Structure 1
Amino acid sequence: MFNSVGKLALDSAPVAVYWLNNRGEVVYSNKAFTKLTGYSAKELAQLDICQISSDFSRPQWESYWNRLKKSGANIRLATLLSKSGHKIPVNINDSYLRYSDTDYDCAFLNKADSEQITQVNPVTPQPHLKEIARQKTAEAVTFNKLIQTLIERQTLTEKALYESEKKFRTIFNKARDAIILWEWDAHKEGFKIIEVNDMACQRFEYTRQEMFGKYADFFQPNSKESKAKFLAGTKATVNKEDGATYELLHQSKSGKIMQNEVSGLRFELNGKPVILSVIRDISLRKEYEIKLKNMYEREKLLNTRLENESQKRAEFTRILVHELKTPLTPIIAASDMLIKMLPPDISHELASQINKGAEELNNRMNDLFDLVRGELGILSLNTESIDCTRLLGDIIEFIRPQAQAKNQTLEAGFQPNLPLIEVDPVRFKQIVMNILGNALKFTPQGGFIKMSVFQKGRCLVICIKDNGRGISKVKQRRLLTSYDDRLISRESSGGLGLGLALSKTFVDLHQGQITIHSKEGHGTTCDIILPIKQNGGS
């Protein structure tokens, strides 16, 4: 009974099943698998895994086969190739088994369509002996040989049938999902167990003998919701030709509640309705779904808090800048007036220093506010087409006296016929001034700073190189980051603090990038790369 049922259970399973040898050749496929791929069982027997799956080349299959032998089982996502050439995504449970001194891969494909098949029992012809009288010795010998041949054939048929049923029993019990065959009991109007595999016994914590005869509702927790889902799932399985898949709670012998996914298919066996159920444990998947949902909720809450905090910080910075700039305005205005009124003496020098300090503080507050607005995405650009050669030349001439004061060499080289570029001229000037200012500041007396401007593809590159003290690799990783607590000591660490972070913000708004290459003690090279968005030449 078990052998016939075991083979029929696999052939009629609602999930597709195939069996491969160590060379990846298909040695068995059930009806659901032939329906899924469009091949006949005979055609599949001529193919190997590399021909029906896009996931394996020959070396990849050999590598996977060796890993499967070591692990014993594996669950994987795969893509099958149907006979018509379509790609079919499937979820495969592979199990390694050894049968008759041969290694095999037994694979169950989740949620594959199945069709009912009817088992055909082999019929072995029985020889009927008749009395042979008065036959020649030669005829008697021939008849005896014929009988011997029939007996040998019968023995081979019985052995093949035994081996076939043993093979299907192995496949049935090696499945990584629980498989239960239920038979309809008209007296009690319920489905009772007539066959189970080893995994079903392990999951439900009963022996095979204990599970035989148990009705389906026996394994249900005592709750209205669970029983309602059970009845709905059973009804769907009975009424649908292709079966049904649904989630259901089961209770083991020890009282453990299991979250399972049930794929059921109804067919007839010996004239009685039966249901084949493939039951997969989804407890871990449900646990991950709950954790993922909680993480999404937490992320949503944190994003809301972060947005609120960012808005508060922006508002605080705006108020701070406003409060600090309010007293600076009369200081700047008064110092400007004193510079114009006083004669060139010590008082004039003091008024000039007051004016420079106030202007510097005003610029720093503007930088801080611009940086906050850039981080919040509310900083905008006023772009126009400019002649970069002329603007950069003006910047060099403006900063040259600072280089001369430190006996530094300041050079600039421009590629001829550079195109016009679409930039915000104020922000563009800030970017270049910040980089050049840092180069001047950290290049020693007698050093050199060189700016090279050229076109590379559809980008304008402004390369500023110096032979200053250089920057260590550790410090390079935080150069473009604002609000680093180590920037407090920027004078001692080599600087490039808020100004460079603000320059990166402006460059990002122009859809460009800043790259820094430096080696401690060997100077620094900084590239400002901006896209050229408009055709034309200067």
Structure 2
Amino acid sequence: MPSADSPVVFVVSHDRARADLLVPVLGQAEVFAIPDAETLLREAHVHPPAVALLYADTRGVPLAEVLPLLRQRAELAGTYWLAVGSAGLGALLAAGADALISDATPPEALALQVRALLARAARHRELEGRIGQLQRRLETWEHEERVRDQLVHMLVHDLKNPIAAVMGLLEVVEDDDRVPDDTRELVKVAHDETQHLLHLAVNMLDVRKIQAGKMHLRPELVFSPMFEEVIEQACGDVGSGLRDRHIAVEVAPNLSPTRADPDILRRIFANLVSNALKHTTTGGLIQIQVRQAEDETQIAVRDDGEGIPADDLPNLFAAFEQSRLTLHGRFDTGMGLAFCKLAVEEHGGHIWAESERGHGSTFIFTLPLAQDSEDDDFVELLS
């Protein structure tokens, strides 16, 4: 049995003396004399060699016929095959030999070649070990990530219903004439914060759905009037905080039909308007513009808030990221903008942000126009 720390060298030849000559000059390497191809196939499975010398004149089954089979074995992936001889080397090279050397080479020179291949084999084993460690770490990380995702999904999914119930109760209290005005204001704040919590939960669920490919769009033809309706609904979703802001909506008339899911579009608008709300002060201006831009519809949501530092822009649409420079102290996961990015890209559009510190921010996204066949369907529906 070879030592675990000693590399194994096979000398495949009917002449055992060739192996005996290498033993004293290879130092710590374990040298095995292999008489023929059949023995090579058997022993290579039991003691995988780091280097195998294949003498082209070995009797019996030609080594060029078994070498391709050996190279397919996973346990021999790090083995280096050295063809030795004066004739027949071309067949071994074609069969997968890594190097060639003459059988007239002195043992010392042959040993130098073998040592060089042993060093390569050692590096290969080291790299395989590192790759194995990284693979195990990756598998552990993936397992932990799946467990975390499942836990988050269960928690967030189970939170939706009680949060919605609390919102409903707060609305009942808010509409009760017996509630004093100062208390009513506190109820409004509680309602807005509960609504924000619900948005966080829904965004986390939807981001996970899109990433898992489980959110299926229901696209429709969206014209100018529907854009206005969707924006109005989205502003209503944001909550009472917009009462302290100026909202300017400009939807170009007679827009070419856009292909989009109205419900998801409403969510995109709500998240962008909510983001603008968080970055503006009381009396601030939020502008929403929808216009035609060549072969797509372009939507912009602008605010006159504090702006976003340039260093924050590259990671703005990543989950759990948000600008460090904000006017609010509310916790935010950054899921709203992450959802916007994934949802827009799911539609086949693009989204980006433009900002200058101290001069507000503009979030712009595009949506594809309906194809000609979809336009024809709409014309037929009207006629």
The residue number in structure 1 matching 2:312 is: 475
Tell me: CA distance 1:383–1:471, structure 2 relative to 1, closer, same or farther (3 Å). Answer: same
The residue number in structure 2 matching 1:418 is: 256
Q: TM-score scaled to structure 2, two decimals?
A: 0.62
3-state SS of 1:515 partner: strand
Cα separation, 2, equivalents of 1:480 and 1:299: 29
Uncovered stretches (5+) of structure 2, i.e. residues with no partner: 1-13, 37-51, 59-63, 65-84, 379-383
Cα separation, 1, equivalents of 2:111 and 2:275: 68
The residue number in structure 1 matching 2:228 is: 393
Tell me: CA distance 1:486–1:283, structure 2 relative to 1, closer, same or farther (3 Å). Answer: farther
> Once the two structures are aligned, what percentage of the paired residues are identical?
20
Residues 249, 258 of structure 1: 8 Å contact kept: no
Are 2:58 and 1:223 aligned? no
Tell me: CA distance 1:415–1:310, structure 2 relative to 1, closer, same or farther (3 Å). Answer: farther
Are 2:202 and 1:371 aligned? no
1:440-474 C-alpha deviation (Å, 9 max, x unpaired): 43234555433333344543321223333211111
The residue number in structure 1 matching 2:286 is: 449
Residues 388, 420 of structure 1: 8 Å contact kept: yes
Instruction: Give 1:217 deviation, angstroms.
Output: 6.8
Instruction: Give 1:316 deviation, angstroms.
Output: 1.6
Are 2:365 and 1:517 aligned? no
The residue number in structure 2 matching 1:439 is: 276
Residue identity in the other structure for 1:515: W
1:91-116 C-alpha deviation (Å, 9 max, x unpaired): xxxxxxxxxxxxxxxxxxxxxxxxxx
Residues 307, 355 of structure 2: 8 Å contact kept: yes
Instruction: Give 1:507 deviation, angstroms.
Output: 2.3
Residues 245, 286 of structure 2: 8 Å contact kept: no
Instruction: Give 1:526 deviation, angstroms.
Output: 1.7
Tell me: CA distance 1:350–1:384, structure 2 relative to 1, closer, same or farther (3 Å). Answer: same
The residue number in structure 2 matching 1:240 is: 88
Name which of 367, 371, 375 aligns with 1:534: 371
Residue identity in the other structure for 1:223: V
Task: Tell me which moved more, 323-332 or 381-390.
Answer: 323-332
Of structures 1 and 2, the one with the larger relative CO (CA 8 A, separation 6+) is 2
Greater percentage in helix? 2
Are 2:328 and 1:460 aligned? no
Instruction: Give 1:282 deviation, angstroms.
Output: 4.7
Instruction: Give 1:480 deviation, angstroms.
Output: 1.4
Cα separation, 1, equivalents of 2:208 and 2:324: 17
Residues 353, 364 of structure 2: 8 Å contact kept: yes
Cα separation, 2, equivalents of 1:486 and 1:409: 23
3-state SS of 2:288 partner: strand
3-state SS of 2:365 partner: strand
Cα separation, 2, equivalents of 1:485 and 1:518: 14
Instruction: Give 1:497 deviation, angstroms.
Output: 2.7
Cα separation, 2, equivalents of 1:446 and 1:341: 28
Task: Tell me which moved more, 515-524 or 479-488.
Answer: 479-488
Residue identity in the other structure for 2:31: S
The residue number in structure 2 matching 1:317 is: 152
Instruction: Give 1:310 deviation, angstroms.
Output: 1.8
The residue number in structure 1 matching 2:8 is: none
Residues 460, 529 of structure 1: 8 Å contact kept: yes
Are 2:220 and 1:382 aligned? no
Residue identity in the other structure for 1:244: L
Tell me: CA distance 1:486–1:460, structure 2 relative to 1, closer, same or farther (3 Å). Answer: closer
Are 2:338 and 1:501 aligned? yes
Instruction: Give 1:524 deviation, angstroms.
Output: 1.8
Residues 170, 187 of structure 2: 8 Å contact kept: yes
User: CA RMSD of the aligned region, Å?
Assistant: 4.5
Cα separation, 2, equivalents of 1:217 and 1:485: 70
Residues 210, 342 of structure 2: 8 Å contact kept: yes
Residue identity in the other structure for 2:140: R
Instruction: Give 1:223 deviation, angstroms.
Output: 1.6
The residue number in structure 2 matching 1:175 is: none
Residue identity in the other structure for 2:301: I
The residue number in structure 2 matching 1:97 is: none
Tell me: CA distance 1:350–1:494, structure 2 relative to 1, closer, same or farther (3 Å). Answer: closer
3-state SS of 2:328 partner: helix
The residue number in structure 2 matching 1:170 is: none
Instruction: Give 1:528 deviation, angstroms.
Output: 0.9
Are 2:130 and 1:307 aligned? no
Cα separation, 2, equivalents of 1:381 and 1:218: 71
Instruction: Give 1:406 deviation, angstroms.
Output: 3.8
Tell me: CA distance 1:409–1:370, structure 2 relative to 1, closer, same or farther (3 Å). Answer: closer
Residues 443, 466 of structure 1: 8 Å contact kept: yes
Cα separation, 2, equivalents of 1:380 and 1:257: 62
Residue identity in the other structure for 2:200: R
Tell me: CA distance 1:388–1:438, structure 2 relative to 1, closer, same or farther (3 Å). Answer: farther
Are 2:198 and 1:362 aligned? yes
Tell me: CA distance 1:411–1:333, structure 2 relative to 1, closer, same or farther (3 Å). Answer: closer
Tell me: CA distance 1:405–1:348, structure 2 relative to 1, closer, same or farther (3 Å). Answer: closer
Residues 487, 497 of structure 1: 8 Å contact kept: no
Which structure has the bigger radius of gyration?
1
Residues 415, 455 of structure 1: 8 Å contact kept: no
Tell me: CA distance 1:390–1:476, structure 2 relative to 1, closer, same or farther (3 Å). Answer: same
Are 2:275 and 1:427 aligned? no
Uncovered stretches (5+) of structure 1, i.e. residues with no partner: 1-188, 191-213, 261-280
Residue identity in the other structure for 2:217: N
Instruction: Give 1:380 deviation, angstroms.
Output: 0.8
The residue number in structure 1 matching 2:246 is: 408
Cα separation, 1, equivalents of 2:311 and 2:166: 41
Tell me: CA distance 1:373–1:304, structure 2 relative to 1, closer, same or farther (3 Å). Answer: farther
Instruction: Give 1:389 deviation, angstroms.
Output: 2.5
Tell me: CA distance 1:290–1:357, structure 2 relative to 1, closer, same or farther (3 Å). Answer: same
Cα separation, 2, equivalents of 1:314 and 1:287: 40
